[in-house]
């Protein structure tokens, strides 16, 4: 992916900035650098539309968007993305206690298996962060 060319698109550029601020420069740069013929369009789409068009909207702050993502991704049982967004939520100021409350809420509305997996993944992320 020609990142310099993509950054000529204001929505992509804005999405890239927001994506990096939430998920971290290293993760995003690695994702984009490893894009190939199969995944390049997906990287472009996610950066431009999910991060640029949605996360940049003024109606919700990044912290609130992180709460929503945690609950939706937990409900959808997407462990890789959930671990990523647990880190992102912490970057956006969501506390560990608030993450616990989100996953308890997930358990009430999506079932115990979703909550159990979410708590397990949160523990893994917290342990990685704590060293």
Pick out the chain residues at pLDDT < 50: none
The predicted structure's pLDDT at residue 5: 75
The predicted structure's pLDDT at residue 77: 93
DSSP string covering the chain = --HHHHTTSHHHHHHHHHHHHHH-HHHHHHHHHT--TTTHHHHHHIIIIIIIIITT-TTS-HHHHHHHHHHHHHHHT-HHHHHHHHHHHHHTT--HHHHHHHHHHHHHHH-HHHHHHHHHHHHHHHHHHH-
The predicted structure's pLDDT at residue 1: 63
pTM above 0.95, yes or no: no
* Domains of the chain in sequence order: 3-54 (no CATH), 62-130 (1.20.1290.10)
State pLDDT tens for residues 84-102.
999 999 999 999 999 999 9
The predicted structure's pLDDT at residue 6: 73
């Amino acid at each position: 992916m020609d990142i310099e060319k993509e950054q000529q698109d204001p929505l992509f550029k804005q999405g890239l900035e927001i994506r990096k601020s939430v998920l971290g420069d290293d993760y995003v740069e690695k994702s984009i650098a490893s894009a190939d013929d199969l995944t390049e369009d997906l990287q472009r789409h996610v950066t431009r539309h999910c991060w640029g068009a949605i996360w940049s909207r003024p109606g919700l702050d990044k912290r609130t968007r992180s709460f929503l993502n945690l609950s939706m991704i937990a409900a959808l049982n997407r462990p890789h993305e959930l671990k990523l967004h647990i880190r992102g939520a912490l970057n956006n100021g969501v506390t560990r206690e608030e993450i616990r409350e989100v996953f308890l809420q997930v358990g009430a509305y999506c079932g115990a298996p979703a909550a159990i997996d979410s708590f397990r993944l949160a523990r893994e992320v917290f342990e990685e962060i704590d060293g």
